[in-house]
Each structure stands twice: as C-alpha cells, then as structure tokens.
Amino acid sequence: MVRRAVNIAAIVVSCLALVASLGWLWLEGRWSAWSPPQGEPAAIGYNAFTKGAFGLEAFPLKYAVVAGRVSSAAFTTTLEDGRSLWETFGFLPNSKAVTLKEPFCEGNADKWLPYGFAVTNYVPATAVQTSLKFAGLTCASCHSGQLRQANGKLSEPISGMGNMDLDVIAFTDAVRNAVMDPDLTADKILNEYAKVCPSDSAGLIDGFVEKFMLDGWLSGIREAMGGDSRKYGLPYHGIQMKQADDIPAGPGRTRPFRSIVRVAMNLPGDENYAYSKIPAVFEQNQDLRPRAQYDGSLGDPVTRSFIAAYASGSSIKALSKPEVVHNIRKAAAYTEDLGIGIPVKTFATHFPDHAPAAADVEHGLTVYKKHCADCHGHRPISADPAKVEPWVAEGKYLHKLEGVGPLAPPNGGLGVDAERVTFRYAHDLPLAIWTTLPGNPKITAVQEKRLDKAIIDAQDAGAPALAYFWQKQKEQFLLTKRQYRLGHPLYFPACPEGDATCTPESLLDRAPPCALDFKAYPQTCEITDFEAFVNNPIPYAFLRAPYLHNGSVPTMAQLINLEKRQPQFCRGQNVYDPENLGYKAPNPVDGKCTNPREAFLFDTKVRGNGNFGHNYPAWDPEKLTDRQRADLQALLAYLKTI
C-alpha cells in the first residue's frame, strides 16, 4: 500500500517537474522571441540608438516607478532644487511627462521614462529574458543632448551630441547604493508599486515569475556588488555624488578606462585619471573617420560601439544576444550616417538670431584653412544655412596621430592633457580587449598565440606577476572560447567572410600589440595604445562643447585663443552660449559653485583636467592685435557653420 503510494507520488512529482521545466522553457522561448524590425533604415537606426537595449539594464521598471519612494536616501543628492530624480542626474526629460495625468506606471513608461531609456526583459548580466521588465540605458542616454537657452527653454533632443548634463558615474553610485540597501526587498518594491499603480496587476503566473525574478535580481546584484566592492569600493552618497573631490568625472564625462580595466582585466581601476567627455558621434563613416576614440585606438565602427557598451558595463553574454547585436550594429550604422544622410540641425537653425554673417564666414574659412584644416579637414560653406556641405577629408595631418607625453615632438606639439592615454595598464589593455571576445576557430588560434606570447614577453621583461596575469587571462579566454563556439557575434571583423588573403599571419599583424609605430599611416592595428590623439574631422563643432577630450574648455572662443581659458568653472546644466559657441560656465565664487544646478567645480589644475595645449593659433588671448582678433572672430563665425 505505502509502496504503491510512494511510487505513484514519485511519478506525479516527476510529471510535475517535467511540466514545470518544459513550461518554463516554453515561456523563455516566448519571452525571448525576437525578429529584426522592418522599416526605414534611418528609423531602425534611430530606434536602435535611442531605444535599443544593449545589456545595460539598470533596474526593474517597477522599481524605477517607486525608486524615489523606497530608495529616496540613495538617490538624494540634496541638490535637487525641485528637479526629478532623473533630471538631477542629468537624464533628458521625457517631453510627454509634463502633461501626463495618470500615475507613472509600467504600462505608460514610454511617456515618463527619461529620453534614451530602453525597456527590455533582459535580466542584467546573464541576459536571461523573463516577464520582468527592466529599464536600461541606450546609446542615446549618453550620446544625445539638448541645448539650454538662457530662458531655460530646451531644444529637442539632438542625437549624436554628448549629454553634457549627465552625471553617469554619480547615477551609478546612487543605483549601487540603492540596491545594496539591506531594507530593500522584492515585497517592498511590489507593495509600493501596487500603491502607486493600483489598477496595474500582473497575472498569476507573470506575478509569480516577477516576484521570483525580482528577488533573484536583488540578491544577485547585491552579491555581485558586494563581491565587486574590492574592485569598486563603496559608492558615494548624498552631496558627495555631486562633488568633484569624490566623483571627479562630473557631468558630461565618464571614466571609460577605469571601467574597462576593471571589466576586461579584472584589476582595480583606481589610479586612473582618464576623464573622457562623452563625445559627439556624428559622421562616424570610416572614410571620414578611419579611426575613432580620442586616441584613434579603434578602427571598425561596430567595435567602437561594442567597446562603448562593454565599457559601460554590459556583459559579453548580453552582447551576444541577437537583439542586442542587432541594436549595436544598427546604432553603429546610424552614427556612421548621422549628419551625412541623416540630417542634423545646424547652428543657424537652432539660433537664427545668432547666425553669422556670410562675409565673416568666408573670411573665417581662410583663417581656418591656414590654422586648422591640415589636421581637421574642412567643410565648404553651404549656401543654405539650414544645410551643410559634405566634409572634405583632406589635410596634411588629417587622420594621423599627434604624440603627447613621451611621444610629443620637441616643440611640445599638440600638448593637451595626457592622462587619457597614459593611465596604468594602458599598454596591456588592447590585448585584454582583443581577447575578450573569442573569434571563429581560425581566429581563436591566433588569439591564443598572442596570449602565449604575452606570457613569455612578460617573463622576458622580468615581470613574472604580469606573466601570471596573462596566464589567468588565457584561462578566462579558453572558457569563453568554449562558451562561444562559433565565435562571439561582435568579434572584431578580423577576417571578412571569403577573404582569402586573410591568414593567421595577417591576423597576427593586426593583433595588438602591433609592430607599427604611431607615425605609420594608415594604422592597420585593430586596437592601438599610443600616447597620442588623433586628428579627425570636427563636424557640428558647436555641439562638441565643452571642448577637448576632457571637456576642459567651455567655449570655442577660448579654444581658439580669442578669450582666455578659465582655470576653474562650474558645470552642470549650463546654459548654451551661442555667441562664444559653447557653455556659459560661471566662475566659482570663493572656490565654490553655489548654484545647485551647476554644482560641479571643474578645476583645470586637478590631475586629468588640464586645459593646456591645442594652442592653435598660438596667439596670446590677452595680447591680440586687432588683425588677430578680427581673424579669430571670423574663424569663430565659420566654426558656427560646420
């Protein structure tokens, strides 16, 4: 009797376990069903760029609804000044939010989530797809901006301009603070959500899955962050998040190399003073921009986007999902055509009252040709101020590298702040990145060889610890190679399909560390690590302020030596200055930035913030002759039109 009952129970349990497993797998299939969107390439590109998930899932959407309530301590900077949580950290507001009458819930997220957020169902890191929706960053969270007029009016979001308000590192710290809160639980989030959005209840199964996944997300992220504390330290909180002493990147800048040293090399990223302004990403086409990043380290546009996403924290698992791969590729293609086939509003359209006079522009072009075009190429003057002519990529030094630091020529050359290219591990990073993604079987063989060589080289150089490091990297590589058996889909396109000339030897030639020196042209190396900056075109120069890679020069007038560069200024939600082409960045009073909306003290004396160099034309702004002043004013007028 008992035996019979036990047997039957076992069979029933088995059937239940099988039904549950198969049911779950079926649901997974449903949740992850995806087919490439159809339509206009420009629209697909725009969507991929502004709404396309790429694995930077920040937190569950329901949590986003109630974050301000259940985690207010973690998100409060004390400098809100009436702004929403999102705006305080510099995300671009959703234009529909102001008029939205209903409460902000999951269902109407597209009407209140800040511009440039994706709604996805990827669980962060593992990229498993479930019914739990997440809010994640997109390219546009960083690479779209708005121009703020003196009267507070904002332009439409401009795709491709860097978001100069965005305090992305501060935001990350706020999120880390919030999720590490021991009092935060799935129940707390869901209960609060039910209060805010009472009419919005999930179905039975979805509700169960949601609770389960929310719990899993919380404990997973806590464990990951707790474990990562050794690499990342504890997050800053409150006013610290807005203080340059604590978070030195500030608005509009990130520390991509600190992150990438952490994620690609698994080493602490401290002692890294490479502050990168979020760059404008117009006209990324390879004819105009054969190599990108400020140091020209990357060639292929898809790789540029991959690295951007990877450095910002997406996992390589997420980056292998067909939908994410699609988004990265389409977003990259979008940046290649943005400003060429896809129009970008000109300065004169934004500021008709400040449109420069045609005669000045013409005079400015001659000044530009004399002092700038060799390095940057130029844009012919357009008859229609609402349009631009195609950029002319011609110039003696265009696309070449300008050495800084140890590689600088005797006269100092470009002379800009070198921290961006001289940080610790800068020279080991290319190989670490290049072997992060395993290629197809032909390529993995080369990748392994390179890693073996790195081990031997390190030993030969008398750096056994480094040899050990490369050994560990190789172990990791062998594991990922097993995980991506056909090669990772975003692997650098080292060997194009059907390219018979592509041999293991030619692959090795292009694999970092490359043999070519920084003066070689063209650079064929897939990732370089020269202590140099690249001379590239500067399309839509008015949307690139504050200037230089570290954003240390608020206006173009200062960059071209028409005005003296500011040693200190206040950054945040600065008003655009169409006269001087850039931002009105107030000087601090008694060393303090008191306006809560411009609270970040940018001190150019701080390591990594230097505003020196790029001294073109090399005139002293305080001793300009009338002729020089007129030239520079004309140059400024021309620069407004490119």
Partner 1 sequence: MADLNTQPPPPYQREQLAISLLAFALLFAFATFFGLTQPDITFFRTHAFAWSSALLVTPALYIFVRRHGIAPLTHWWRLFWTFAWVMIAVHLIWGLGLEHDWQPLSVFERQGFWIAFPIFLLQAVWLIDIAMTWTRYDWAWPTGGYKVWQGFMWLFVLANFFVAMVIFRNDTESLVIGLMQTAVVVAAFLMRWNEREQSL
C-alpha–C-alpha distance, residues 394 and 377, integer Å:
5
Asked if 234 interacts with partner 1 (CB under 8 A), we say no
How many whole angstroms separate alpha carbon 640 and alpha carbon 642? 6
Q: Does 441 contact partner 1 by CB under 8 A?
A: yes
Among 486, 567, 592, 594, binds partner 1 (CB under 8 A): 486
Which residues in the 250-279 window bind ligand HEC by CB under 6 A? 254, 256, 276, 278-279
**For residues 329-388, which are near ligand HEC according to CB under 6 A?**
331-332, 335, 371-372, 374-376
Q: Which residues of 380-410 are buried (b: 16+ CB within 10 A; e: fewer)?
A: ebbeebeebeebebebeebbbbbbbeebbee
CA contacts within 13 A on the Cβ side of 416 = 27
Q: Which long-range contacts (CB under 8 A, 24 or more apart) does 151-154 make?
A: 154/93
317 binds partner 1 per the rule CB under 8 A = yes
Stretch that binds ligand HEC, among 73-81, 106-114, 222-230, 540-548 (CB under 6 A): 540-548
The CA-to-CA distance between both ends of the chain, in Å, stands at 89
Q: Out of 72, 78, 126, 149, name the contact with partner 1 by CB under 8 A.
A: 126
Min separation Cβ 23 and partner 1, Å:
10
Complex with partner 1: residue 128 or 154, whichever CB lies closer: 128
Cβ–Cβ under 8 Å, residues 156 and 140: no
Burial class (CB in 10 A: 0-12, 13-18, 19+), 471: middle
- Which of 371, 510 has the CB closer to ligand HEC? 371
CA distance 642 to 630: 19
Decide if 544 contacts 575 (C-beta within 8 A): no
Interface with ligand HEC includes 309 (CB under 6 A)? yes
Please give the residues from 386 up to 445 whose contact with ligand HEC meets the rule CB under 6 A: 397, 402, 414, 416
- Min dist CB 214 to ligand HEC, Å, is 24
Nearer to partner 1, 11 or 150 (CB): 11
CA distance 488 to 320: 6
Considering only residues 112, 193, 310, 533, which one is a binding residue for ligand HEC as defined by CB under 6 A? 533
User: Which contacts qualify for 281-284: CB closer than 8 Å, 24 or more apart?
Assistant: 281/139, 281/143, 281/160, 281/335, 281/338, 282/160, 282/335, 282/338, 282/339, 282/344, 282/539, 282/540, 282/543, 283/336, 283/338, 283/339, 283/340, 283/391, 283/537, 283/539, 284/332, 284/335, 284/336, 284/338
Residue 605 in tokens: 């004396």
DSSP 161: S
Q: Which region, judged by CB under 6 A, interacts with ligand HEC, from 127-135, 190-198, 325-333, 511-519? A: 325-333
Q: What DSSP state is assigned to residue 272?
A: -
Residue type, 276: S
Q: Which of 288, 338, 541, 637 binds ligand HEC (CB under 6 A)?
A: 541
For residue 291, the one-letter residue type is R
Q: Is 10 in the site for partner 1 (CB under 8 A)?
A: yes
Q: Does 17 bind partner 1 (CB under 8 A)?
A: yes
- Verify binding: residue 128, partner 1, rule CB under 8 A: yes
In this chain, which stretch among 14-22, 236-244, 380-388, 514-522 interacts with partner 1, using CB under 8 A? 14-22
CA–CA distance, 261 with 272 (Å, rounded to integer): 9
Q: Using the rule CB under 8 A, is 205 a contact of partner 1?
A: no
Of 285, 303, 320, 535, the one binding ligand HEC (CB under 6 A) is 535
Q: Which is nearer to ligand HEC, 139 or 407 (CB)?
A: 139
Name the residues that contact ligand HEC, by CB under 6 A: 54, 137, 139, 141-143, 168, 254, 256, 276, 278-281, 284, 289, 292-294, 304-305, 308-309, 312, 328, 331-332, 335, 371-372, 374-376, 397, 402, 414, 416, 533, 535, 538, 541, 544, 547-549, 559-560, 614, 616-617, 639
**Residues lying near partner 1 in the complex (CB under 8 A):** 3-4, 6-8, 10-11, 13-15, 17-18, 20-21, 24-25, 125-126, 128, 216, 220, 315, 317, 441, 482-483, 485-486
